[in-house]
Structure 1
Amino acid sequence: MIQGDVTDRNQLIRATAGVDVIMHVASIVDVFGRIPEATMQNVNVQGAHHVIEACVANGIRRCVYTSSMEVVGPNSRREHFVRGNEESSYNTLHEIPYTQTKAAAEKIILEANGIQVSGGGRLASCALRPTGIYGEGCALLRGIYRKALKLGGRLFRFGPRTVQSGRVYVGNVAWMHVLAARGLKEKPGLVGGQVYYCSDGSPDKSHMDFNMELLGPCGVRLIGQERPVLPYIFIYILAAMAELLQLVLRPFCTFAPYLNRYTLALASTTFTVCTDKATRHFSYRPLYSWEQSKERTVQWLLSLPQADQEGKRC
């Protein structure tokens, strides 16, 4: 175990000496505007360059990149993507630094497929595009749960129930990485240079309804069962006002509310995918069922308040 910095090229080259495969999962994920754009460019984009340079310097012939469905969509126009695959067309619009930098990093990794590395071999690289990842350790889910507890165990619907969003358990994402790495070794001509959507048997539901699958057993209640508490246009105005306030306060403090126009688009646009390409190319099947994934996540959530109290006592 080596703790390092993906933005430090020489450190990364030293850390990866003698390895067979790199699984590049180091990225800043921020859709709320908490992190400066320059930092995201440095970590997400320049970090990807450094990973490829490490592969070349150390003769590493396999690289799996953790990309995201958000390099494709959903877009701010609320154009739906229903059970699409890697060949499906979509009007991709990158309007925030996170999606811009993830798309740029994915391109760097894929364009490096086939380049010569030290020792005479060639690099085989691919990218995985998980849908919304959940599971133990999920900072976003933990934040929503804590927010609900502060509101007396309640959440308020702000996206339509008819919208469906793909979700995937973190253990199945990890398993797909393992299978993709094997595929790059056994079938580099087939898997190299390819992108793969990553999902599992988790139900396609709205963000709010899926979160309630996990938070409901923890005692959280949803206000606005069938429709948002407020009309969409009013919520959109609130999101725009929150962004304006964020811009005004930026020189003085970090103000990053959960609601902005991008997160509203995420909650208001159907985006679900198929994983048949990964099944065909390297025999991907989810390692954990939906029932197992849900149980593991709920048990982790239930442990959080107790862990917080223990932390305060320490």
Structure 2
Amino acid sequence: MTACSLSGVSCLVTGASGFVGHRIVQMLLEEEPKLEELRVMDKNLSEDLLKTCQRFRDRTLVKTLQGDIRDTDFLHGSCRGVNLVFHTAAIIDTVGKVSKDVVMSINVTGTEQLLAACLQNNVQYFIYTSSIEVYGPNAQGDPIINGTEETVYDKKSAFCYGESKSLAEKKVLRANGQELQNGGTLITCSLRPAYIFGEGSQFLQIHLDQALLNGDVFHRLSRKEALVNPVYVGNVAWAHLLAARAIRDPEGTKKIAGNFYFITDDTPHMSYSDMNHALGKELGLKVESKLAMPLPILYIVASLMEMVSFVLRPFVRFVPPFTRHLLTILNTPFTFTYRKLQSDTGYKPRYSWEEARQMTSDWMVSVIPQRREHLRKNK
């Protein structure tokens, strides 16, 4: 399909310092030179984000906005004069590091308040960065192989993060078609990336640190047969840009208004642990051949650690290194296609698996010396 460019559009990216938000900002600056304005918003504006914005200062008007997604006055000021919002800001938590109240206030209430600010300030388009975790895996670990947006699944979330993203996504999609202050209409859609890898991934860095402490061997917490399809961060950003172009086109609006889409790419299906190995093997990094103990016993260990965490909570915050929920995520076959996204927005992965693997491995090479030094000092 032929999609509109974003020429003359004023865009706002929330969570702009984050892994996905920063990459969306970078892609907008590279691919849309005729933007009227780009506003980048985060509670903390990272040095890397500011450097990216600085590189394009002579071509695109970039406005930096530092504030909290829960601050309604700040949100109204940020949305005034904006045409299109990419909402990526969120707390990502898979092991219970952050209290449920905080996760819900940022991921759900923050989204709700941002939508209200968009309606009040006549923002026409709203693209939400959701997560595959709104779909599952469920507590039973029921698998999905090459699922689509029409796949029927008992997706009741067993964990706070997935629940928060699901609630926020429902608010976004229900807001589609609501009347703006000026009589126009708000158009929304939601994008659900699979597990995202690439340069700068905080999760990949955690796994890398653990491997360096383990004699350059990645720990195995997922069975080989638990196939998933991770997606490269550059392809996630590309999907957001194509959705933005499509949502402004009258034909595209008809297709994607009020809908959600899975974002995957052509990364080979493999387990999470084998994915780490695929990215690190040319660096000499290995992966454990099997789980440290049988999966049912790991679940028992996780359950005991969760009980200890609960008992200690009034006195000290103990965060288990892994939980039953995380074990379920890591050990459930869970793959999806991008056919619907391709059909409705023209999406095809911009980066091949080999390109994505090479760029990610190059980043790993660049950070290993400093990570070794950091780990040595903090022994």
Shorter-chain-normalised TM-score: which range?
A: over 0.9
Q: Select 1:299's aligned residue among 324, 345, 362.
A: 362
* TM-score in terms of structure 1 length: 0.95
Q: Select 2:108's aligned residue among 17, 20, 45.
A: 45
- The answer to whether the Cα contact below 8 Å between 2:82 and 2:123 also exists between their aligned partners in 1 is yes
**Cα distance in 1 for residues equivalent to 2:122 and 2:343:** 28
1:192 has 2:257 as partner = yes
- The answer to whether the Cα contact below 8 Å between 1:158 and 1:230 also exists between their aligned partners in 2 is no
Residue matched to 2:52? none
Q: Select 2:80's aligned residue among 7, 10, 17.
A: 17
1:261 has 2:261 as partner = no
Gap regions ≥5 residues in structure 1: none
1:218 has 2:293 as partner = no
Residue matched to 2:32? none
The count of aligned residue pairs is 311
What residue identity is the alignment partner of 1:210? Answer: M
Residue matched to 1:62? 125
* 1:230-245 → structure 2 map (5 Å cutoff): 230-245=293-308
Q: CA deviation at 1:194?
A: 0.4
Q: Select 2:215's aligned residue among 138, 146, 152.
A: 152
Residue matched to 1:274? 337
Q: CA RMSD in A?
A: 1.7
What residue identity is the alignment partner of 1:121? Answer: G
Residue matched to 1:204? 269
What residue identity is the alignment partner of 1:212? Answer: H
Gap regions ≥5 residues in structure 2: 1-63
Q: Secondary structure of the residue that 2:171 maps to in structure 1? A: helix
Per chain length, whose mean CA-contact separation is higher, i.e. which structure has more relative contact order (CA < 8 Å, sep 6+)? 1
- The answer to whether the Cα contact below 8 Å between 1:278 and 1:284 also exists between their aligned partners in 2 is yes
Mean Cα deviation higher: 102-111 or 258-267: 258-267
- The answer to whether the Cα contact below 8 Å between 1:67 and 1:129 also exists between their aligned partners in 2 is yes
Q: CA deviation at 1:165?
A: 1.1
What residue identity is the alignment partner of 1:188? Answer: T
What residue identity is the alignment partner of 1:117? Answer: L
**Cα distance in 1 for residues equivalent to 2:376 and 2:333:** 40
- The answer to whether the Cα contact below 8 Å between 1:240 and 1:260 also exists between their aligned partners in 2 is yes
Q: CA deviation at 1:311?
A: 12
What residue identity is the alignment partner of 1:46? Answer: T
Mean Cα deviation higher: 180-189 or 56-65: 180-189
CA 1:160–1:180: 2 relative to 1, 3 Å: same
**Cα distance in 2 for residues equivalent to 1:311 and 1:160:** 28
Residue matched to 2:4? none
- The answer to whether the Cα contact below 8 Å between 2:147 and 2:335 also exists between their aligned partners in 1 is yes
* TM-score in terms of structure 2 length: 0.79
Q: CA deviation at 1:310?
A: 8.8
The percent of aligned pairs where both chains have the same amino acid is 34
Residue matched to 1:140? 203
1:99 has 2:169 as partner = no
What residue identity is the alignment partner of 1:150? Answer: L
Q: CA deviation at 1:235?
A: 1.1
CA 1:291–1:114: 2 relative to 1, 3 Å: same
Q: CA deviation at 1:220?
A: 2.0
- The answer to whether the Cα contact below 8 Å between 1:197 and 1:273 also exists between their aligned partners in 2 is yes
Mean Cα deviation higher: 298-307 or 75-84: 298-307
Q: Select 2:177's aligned residue among 110, 114, 127.
A: 114
**Cα distance in 2 for residues equivalent to 1:300 and 1:239:** 32
What residue identity is the alignment partner of 1:219? Answer: G
Q: CA deviation at 1:312?
A: 10
Residue matched to 2:66? 3
Q: CA deviation at 1:252?
A: 3.2
Q: Deviations over 1:261-297 (max 9, x none)?
A: 0111011111100111111111001111111111111
Residue matched to 1:29? 92
Q: Secondary structure of the residue that 1:2 maps to in structure 2? A: strand
Q: Deviations over 1:208-246 (max 9, x none)?
A: 11111112223322222xx42311111111111121122
Q: Select 1:167's aligned residue among 227, 230, 233.
A: 230
**Cα distance in 2 for residues equivalent to 1:123 and 1:311:** 48
